[in-house]
Amino acid sequence: MFCPAKFCILLFAVKFASGLEFEEFIRWKQVAYESIPDASYLTPDFVFPEYAAVPGDDSYIPYNNVPQGVNHYKGRLFITMPRRSPGVPSTLNYIDLKQTKAGDSPRLKSYPNAEINSLRSTLKPGQKRLISVYRTRLDPCHRLWFVDTGMLEYPNNRTQVQRPSIWIMNLLTDEVISRYEVPESIVVEGRGLVSITPDITKGKCDEAYGYIPDLVQPALHVYSLKDNRMWTFRHNYFYFDPQSGDYNIAGQQFQWRDGIFSITLGDENKEGFRDAYFHPLSSTSEFAVSTKVLRNETNARRPHQGEDFKLLGARGKDMESSVHVYDPHTKVLFYAQIALSGIGCWNTQKRFASQNHHLIHQNLQTMIYPSDITVDMDGTLWAMTNSMPVFIYSKLDTNQYNFRVWRQEAGKAIQGTGCAL
Ligand SMILES: *[C@@H]1O[C@H](CO)[C@@H](O)[C@H](O)[C@H]1NC(C)=O
Ligand SMILES: *[C@@H]1O[C@H](CO)[C@@H](O)[C@H](O)[C@H]1NC(C)=O
């Protein structure tokens, strides 16, 4: 049978996927903020009230607000808005789900408040400020983890306003527990630090580690909360695969060379360690390393990592993934699949082979560029799709929905698919 490769995959997906599709929960044509009145839409550079001293520096340019991360904690849905273009009034935000119903286009509220999120006209650095946050993650100790890259990534004009920093916040009190400035010996600029994966030994909230994939260097940075220190692993498995960096998404053709992009942790073993699954973005390979290796700073200095970093295998053609997440209830890894505009899965109890990877939801119109996927405490998956290649290489149609948050219970999403046991 003749068919172009991509089309064959589509047929395959339609024929075999029978799990419940993800619900298109909320969607925006453009994203608005609770603190900014509607009239501001009429002026291209609305000034965020109260905090901006000089007009223009903290302006709100609706078109430039492209959401990136989504993460749910007890009725609050965290939405991040990295500052990749001017006119983003607030980088870390949330939506109150009690006030939200399916189909809404809710306004964002700053988290924990507007002041922390506001950009000063002088671009003066400040320990109590957030400049740009890509994604947030939760730990079992009711804490929110994220990296502030400290950088304005405006096209052709990147500005490192302040050192990148690792933040841990208490979600019960909304207070900052810890803020750690990433030293210059670890990274010169913050732009590659687009996520952090917390690792907590059961019942020991202070003995926590954070793993940061650095897609630029590429490298894997480890942060120890107890020792308030960082160290860096380097490995050839963190590099992009030159045969996997060509994309054709929503009519845009381009080449990306992003390295290690996502780290997610499997179940804790008897020794108290986990498999850290990771992959570069421009690659279809998946790798793993034990957290026992990562937690030991001495290992980072070894000239050779022996067999400690393992290649699991290749997911298959066009299966490049931005973010993936392990769901402990189903023991399934869920992949945000950028080249296929969909969400895929692999059950970790099955052999890692391309025939055990399945596309469980795909929509070439509405699921353009899944930029984040997380699973909450109840086992519900949340995904963001943000049409980013269209924003970068073409122009978004502001009369259409461009950004969406999807949700589905992990168990239902895989029902009847090859990812169920
Ligand atoms: C670059 O960005 C900085 C800080 O945002 C700004 O002060 C400067 O005017 C910008 N330069 C250009 C050429 O846009
Ligand atoms: C850390 O790794 C080094 C080898 O790089 C090893 O000699 C040492 O025993 C390890 N420490 C722990 C606590 O496992």
pLDDT digits (tens, 9 = 90+) for 351-395: 999 999 999 999 999 999 999 999 999 999 999 999 999 999 999
Whether pLDDT at 42 is above 80 = no
The percent helix, strand, coil of the chain (3-state, each to 5) is: 10, 40, 50
User: What pLDDT is attached to residue 124?
Assistant: 86
User: How does DSSP classify residue 228?
Assistant: T
User: What pLDDT is attached to residue 50?
Assistant: 39
Name the fold adopted by 5-413.
Neuraminidase (2.120.10)
User: What pLDDT is attached to residue 120?
Assistant: 78
Beta strands in 293-391 (DSSP E): 309-314, 321-327, 332-337, 342-347, 357-362, 370-375, 380-385
> Within 13 Å, how many C-alpha atoms sit on residue 210's CB side?
31
User: What pLDDT is attached to residue 9?
Assistant: 47
Backbone angles phi, psi at 415, to 5 degrees: -50, 125
Pocket of ligand 1 (CB under 6 A): 123, 152, 157, 159
> Any idea where the domains of the chain sit in the sequence?
5-413
Q: What is the mean pLDDT of the chain?
A: 91
Query: Is 299's C-beta closer than 6 angstroms to any atom of ligand 2?
Result: yes
Whether pLDDT at 148 is above 90 = yes
Whether pLDDT at 234 is above 70 = yes
Backbone angles phi, psi at 90, to 5 degrees: -155, 125
Instruction: Specify the pTM.
Output: 0.92
User: What pLDDT is attached to residue 69?
Assistant: 98
User: How does DSSP classify residue 19?
Assistant: S
Question: Closest ligand 2 atom to the C-alpha of 296?
Answer: 1
pLDDT digits (tens, 9 = 90+) for 71-98: 999 999 999 999 999 889 999 999 999 9
166 Cα to the center of ligand 2, angstroms: 26
With the most atoms of ligand 1 within 8 angstroms of its CB, the residue from 120, 154, 160 to mutate is 154
Beta strands in 364-402 (DSSP E): 370-375, 380-385
With the most atoms of ligand 2 within 8 angstroms of its CB, the residue from 293, 299, 302, 304 to mutate is 299
pLDDT digits (tens, 9 = 90+) for 165-203: 999 999 999 999 999 999 999 999 999 999 999 999 988
**pLDDT confidence band for 272 (50 / 70 / 90):** very high
DSSP secondary structure string for all residues of 267-304: ---TTS--EEEEEESS--EEEEEEHHHHT-HHHHT-S-
With tokens 């304005």, the residue in question is 152
**In the chain, what percentage of residues exceed pLDDT 90?**
84
**pLDDT confidence band for 18 (50 / 70 / 90):** low
For residues 94-118, average pLDDT: 95
**pLDDT confidence band for 20 (50 / 70 / 90):** confident
**In the chain, what percentage of residues exceed pLDDT 70?**
90
Handedness of CA 258, 260, 263, 266 (dihedral sign): positive
Least confident of 39-43, 117-121, 306-310: 39-43
d(CA 37, CA 57): 18
Choose between 124 and 278: higher pLDDT.
278
Q: List the Cα angle 379/383/386 in 5-degree steps.
A: 170
Question: Closest ligand 1 atom to the C-alpha of 161?
Answer: 4
Q: Which two tokens stand for residue 195?
A: 């996520």
Burial 298-324 (b: 16+ CB within 10 A, else e): ebbeeeebeebbeebbbbbebbbbbbb
d(CA 259, CA 213): 9
